[in-house]
């Protein structure tokens, strides 16, 4: 049984705990928990069984998918459907736990159902990095739009007064999205960040508009059938049932899906309890008023906005509405989920915390800090963002990695990499730079360390004209904690004793021409060695091979320059970009961003060889010795070339170099990790 657990604080109680319409909101945080459970958390500065930490561990368990539509229905059935008439109130789901120290507040504004339980799938992930509070509008509450706006404004004012340098997040779903936009328009001087899944600003063009007429003319007897008749419009129930399926055995998942569907479909009867005829009529009027109010004030909104839009929303034209809002709002990003329906927060394939991270909208102060506000990959992101994508599993998931111990012995895996930073991993880029993904994921799994890749700023920040071209690639770079390459960022990472991945050849190596595979294009002068020595970092040279087993370069940059329309397209694209190495001269300064045309091969395998660690700790006094630094730089470059040569030779002895043999090995052994390779 569920219950509302109230804080024992001595401050006056808010409308959360009373039906007194005149009592003001003074202490908004309330937990929803199972009675008799052992997972309680004390609010408002009290102690908890799990102490809050400052940072998330790499590969942290986000808990996504452990709560599903059934958990949402249980909350609604047992706690959130009450006979009282209001007023609206705030609660904090106990599943959120205790977030990181200095985490910002996230206020969830529900859709037309008003229960506040629609965030259930995302409560655990969001609760790790936000103080989550959910708005609950009781079934028989008839608070007008202005009253709802004031309720949200009041808690926004309180949180802003308590932490004036922190942003306040408004996660507004459907109707809640219009409410969030209205609050943002009225409070342009407060640092708000809006996350809007399928906002209802397109009400006039949606099926909800004529639905209001239908609801009014239906008798009570016929109205009871409406939730069942309208259920295909609300969301994709197959995707809802897939949320709880986490097993990577697809045959087993195929059997689990029908069972989940059969268990979840009877829960549709709850819709009639949450939205009886009179309540739905009232709520539809609220949506209409809120949409008109928000649309008339879009010009006044200065907040950052992230829209999560469904491509198969049968209730509203969410996809086209997202593009419309992106043109009208000053600071707006859009992420499209083509296969999802209107109830996007309840469906698989959508992770709110990942969308916030990928768009770089997570911050704990008035300004985003690319390093301090970086959240490491969680378990769900490792499985879904990369490993569960067809191109990663098909081309790169079976990379063989070797490292060198202090005594020179070569071993399979990353045992030769130091367990403490700062560590600077320096190597060669392969074609298109795909080699970064298996390297970063393997460090995460084997060393439990975030390997920050230093990337060209042009790949991490793009203009609106390039959004459709670059968004997906850039989002993945943000998820894996890539950092714009610069001397300042390298210094900050070294000072934090981080693990850093650096490709001195940069884009010139990743976008090389025909016949240039496994050739280094490093600048003549060292760019990173002095700082690594000054900070006492351990340098790990490494060589990667395998691009020629994956892709065939069909049309390279030189050939594109001779094709008029391709030449014009990339010249125009590069006019909007900055060449960071223009003053260096040589080959590395001539590189322009482009996308060579490649043909896929029947995949072979990627191989990585991490050389013997080069320790600079204790040599900090040599950081101004130019001869020493240049000698060290040439040693690193030589080691990388040796590592590549070693891998090119030894891969010939790998019985599992071909994808067919690796596939058969997986079928026989059932493991996705450490497929055998050659003996080092």
Q: Which residues contact 26 (CB under 8 A, 6 or more apart)?
A: 11, 12, 13, 14
For residue 411, what is the domain's CATH number?
3.40.1130
Chain-centroid distance of CA 353 in Å reads 5
DSSP H helices, 15-137, are 69-75, 123-129
Chain-centroid distance of CA 100 in Å reads 17
Q: Which residues contact 585 (CB under 8 A, 6 or more apart)?
A: none
Chain-centroid distance of CA 79 in Å reads 31
Rounded to the nearest 10 degrees, the angle between the axes of helix 175-186 and helix 145-162 is 60
- Do residues 395 and 272 both lie within one domain? no
**Would you say residue 561 lies in a domain?**
no
Note whether 504 and 426 are within 8 A (CB).
Answer: yes
**Would you say residue 445 lies in a domain?**
yes
- pLDDT of 24 reads 34
Note whether 138 and 275 are within 8 A (CB).
Answer: no
Q: Which of 359, 382, 403 is the last residue of a domain?
A: 359
- Do residues 347 and 295 both lie within one domain? yes
Rounded to the nearest 10 degrees, the angle between the axes of helix 208-217 and helix 277-295 is 150
Q: Which residues contact 148 (CB under 8 A, 6 or more apart)?
A: 88, 137, 179, 286
- pLDDT of 585 reads 56
- Do residues 411 and 353 both lie within one domain? no
- pLDDT of 461 reads 73
**Would you say residue 144 lies in a domain?**
yes
Q: Which of 359, 383, 417 is the last residue of a domain?
A: 359
Report the distance separating Cα 304 and Cα 331, nearest Å.
Answer: 5
Chain-centroid distance of CA 598 in Å reads 29
- Do residues 395 and 355 both lie within one domain? no
Note whether 446 and 418 are within 8 A (CB).
Answer: no
Query: Is the previous residue joined to 178 through a cis bond, with omega within 30 degrees of 0?
Result: no
CB atoms near residue 290 (< 10 Å):
26
- Do residues 488 and 546 both lie within one domain? yes
**Would you say residue 216 lies in a domain?**
yes
Residue 169: closest CA among 151, 184, 182: 184
* CA atoms lying within 13 Å on the CB side of residue 58: 17
The 3-state DSSP class for residue 484 equals strand
Report the distance separating Cα 526 and Cα 519, nearest Å.
Answer: 17
Q: Which residues contact 644 (CB under 8 A, 6 or more apart)?
A: 428, 518, 543, 544, 545, 609
Chain-centroid distance of CA 628 in Å reads 42
Report the distance separating Cα 137 and Cα 125, nearest Å.
Answer: 24
- Do residues 112 and 240 both lie within one domain? yes
Note whether 430 and 547 are within 8 A (CB).
Answer: yes
**Would you say residue 459 lies in a domain?**
yes
- Do residues 83 and 222 both lie within one domain? yes
**Would you say residue 438 lies in a domain?**
yes
**Would you say residue 1 lies in a domain?**
no
Give 177-197 pLDDT, tens digit per residue: 999 999 999 999 999 999 999
- pLDDT of 36 reads 31
Q: Which of 339, 359, 379 is the last residue of a domain?
A: 359
For 198, left (φ over 0), alpha (ψ -120 to 50), or beta?
A: left
Residue 499: closest CA among 476, 481, 475, 526: 481
The 3-state DSSP class for residue 421 equals coil
For 26, left (φ over 0), alpha (ψ -120 to 50), or beta?
A: alpha
The residue assigned the tokens 């069984």 is 49
Q: Which residues contact 213 (CB under 8 A, 6 or more apart)?
A: none
Domain that holds residue 211: 69-359
Report the distance separating Cα 332 and Cα 350, nearest Å.
Answer: 19
Query: Is the previous residue joined to 422 through a cis bond, with omega within 30 degrees of 0?
Result: yes
String of b and e for 364-402 (b: at least 16 CB within 10 Å)?
Answer: beeeeebeebbbbbbebbbebbbbeeeebeebbbbbbbb
Query: In sequence order, what are the beta bridge partners of 452?
Result: 500
- Do residues 304 and 431 both lie within one domain? no
**Would you say residue 418 lies in a domain?**
yes
- Do residues 399 and 355 both lie within one domain? no
- Do residues 161 and 81 both lie within one domain? yes
Instruction: Report CA Rg, the chain.
Output: 28
Residue 203: closest CA among 227, 177, 229: 177
Structure tokens at 70: 């059934």
- pLDDT of 520 reads 93
Please provide residue 102's backbone torsions phi and psi, each rounded to the nearest 5 degrees. Answer: 70, 20
- Do residues 123 and 182 both lie within one domain? yes
Report the distance separating Cα 378 and Cα 346, nearest Å.
Answer: 20
Residue 460: closest CA among 438, 489, 435: 489
For residue 307, what is the domain's CATH number?
3.40.50.1820
CB atoms near residue 484 (< 10 Å):
17
**How high is the mean pLDDT in each 10-residue block of the chain (680 residues)?**
30 31 39 37 36 79 82 66 76 90 96 90 94 93 95 96 96 97 97 97 89 74 69 70 60 53 57 77 93 96 96 92 95 92 89 92 93 90 64 73 95 95 95 88 91 86 55 81 92 96 91 91 86 96 94 90 87 70 61 84 92 95 92 96 97 92 81 78
The burial class, CB within 10 Å (0-12 / 13-18 / 19+), for 620 is exposed
The 3-state DSSP class for residue 78 equals helix
DSSP H helices, 197-317, are 208-217, 220-223, 226-234, 237-242, 250-264, 269-274, 277-295
* Four-CA torsion 385, 194, 29, 161, nearest 10 degrees: 130
Q: Write the DSSP assignment of 600-667 as a string of letters.
A: E-S----EEEE---EE-TT-GGGTT-HHHHHHHHHHHHHHHHHHHHHHHHHGGG-TT-SHHHHHHHHH
Per the structure, the count of domains in the chain is 2
- Do residues 459 and 531 both lie within one domain? yes
């Amino acid at each position: 049984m569920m219950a509302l657990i109230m804080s024992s604080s001595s401050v006056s109680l808010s409308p959360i705990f009373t039906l007194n319409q005149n009592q003001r909101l003074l202490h908004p945080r309330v937990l929803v928990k199972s009675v008799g459970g052992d997972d309680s958390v004390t609010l408002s500065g009290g102690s908890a069984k799990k102490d809050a930490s400052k940072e998330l561990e790499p590969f942290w368990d986000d808990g996504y998918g452990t709560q599903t539509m059934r958990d949402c229905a249980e909350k609604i059935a047992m706690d959130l459907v009450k006979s009282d008439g209001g007023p609206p109130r705030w609660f904090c789901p106990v599943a959120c736990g205790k977030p990181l120290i200095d985490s910002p507040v996230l206020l969830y504004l529900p859709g037309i159902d008003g229960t506040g339980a629609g965030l259930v799938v995302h409560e655990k992930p969001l609760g790790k990095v936000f103080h989550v509070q959910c708005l609950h509008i009781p079934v028989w509450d008839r608070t007008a739009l202005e009253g709802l706006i004031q309720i949200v404004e009041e808690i926004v004012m309180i949180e802003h007064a308590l932490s004036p340098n922190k942003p306040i997040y408004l996660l507004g779903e459907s109707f809640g999205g219009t409410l969030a936009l209205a609050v943002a328009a009225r409070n342009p001087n407060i640092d708000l960040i809006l996350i809007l899944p399928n906002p209802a600003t397109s009400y006039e063009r949606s099926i909800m508009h004529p639905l209001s007429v239908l609801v009014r003319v239906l008798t009570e007897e016929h109205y009871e059938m409406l939730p069942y008749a309208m259920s295909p419009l609300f969301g994709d129930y197959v995707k809802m049932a897939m949320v709880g399926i986490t097993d990577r055995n697809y045959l087993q998942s195929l059997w689990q899906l029908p069972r989940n569907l059969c268990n979840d479909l009877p829960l549709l009867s709850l819709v009639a309890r949450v939205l009886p005829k009179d309540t739905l009529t009232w709520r539809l009027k609220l949506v209409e008023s809120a949409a008109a109010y928000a649309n008339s004030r879009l010009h006044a909104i200065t907040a950052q906005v992230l829209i999560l839009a469904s491509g198969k929303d049968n209730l509203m034209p969410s996809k086209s509405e997202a593009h419309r809002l992106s043109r009208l709002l000053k600071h707006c990003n859009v992420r499209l989920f083509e296969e999802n329906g209107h109830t996007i927060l309840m469906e698989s394939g959508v992770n709110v915390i990942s969308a916030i991270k990928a768009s770089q909208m997570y911050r704990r102060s008035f300004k985003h800090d690319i390093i301090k506000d970086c959240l490491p990959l969680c378990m769900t992101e490792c499985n879904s963002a990369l490993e569960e994508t067809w191109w990663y599993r098909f081309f790169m998931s079976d990379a063989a990695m070797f490292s060198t111990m202090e005594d020179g012995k070569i071993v399979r895996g990353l045992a030769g990499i130091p367990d403490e930073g700062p560590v600077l991993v320096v190597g060669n880029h392969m074609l298109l730079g795909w080699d970064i993904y298996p390297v970063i994921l393997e460090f995460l799994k084997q060393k439990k360390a975030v390997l920050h890749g230093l990337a060209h700023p042009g790949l991490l920040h793009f203009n609106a004209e390039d959004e459709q071209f670059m968004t997906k690639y850039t989002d993945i770079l943000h998820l894996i904690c890539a950092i714009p390459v610069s001397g300042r960022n390298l210094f900050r990472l070294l000072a934090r004793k981080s693990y850093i991945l650096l490709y001195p050849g940069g884009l010139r190596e990743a976008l090389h021409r025909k016949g240039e595979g496994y050739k280094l294009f490093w600048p003549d002068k060292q760019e990173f060695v002095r700082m690594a020595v000054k900070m006492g970092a351990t340098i790990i040279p490494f060589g990667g091979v395998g691009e020629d087993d994956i892709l065939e370069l069909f049309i390279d940059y030189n050939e594109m320059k001779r094709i008029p329309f391709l030449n014009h397209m990339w010249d125009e694209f590069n006019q909007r970009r900055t060449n960071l190495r223009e003053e260096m001269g040589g080959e590395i300064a001539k590189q322009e961003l482009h996308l060579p045309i490649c043909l896929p091969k029947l995949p072979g395998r990627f191989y990585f060889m991490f050389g013997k660690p080069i320790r600079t700790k204790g040599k900090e006094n040599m950081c101004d010795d130019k001869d020493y630094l240049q000698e060290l730089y040439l040693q690193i470059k030589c080691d990388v070339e040796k590592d590549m040569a070693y891998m090119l030779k030894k891969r010939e002895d790998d019985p599992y170099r071909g994808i067919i043999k690796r596939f058969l090995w997986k079928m026989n052994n059932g493991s996705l990790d450490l497929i055998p390779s050659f003996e080092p």
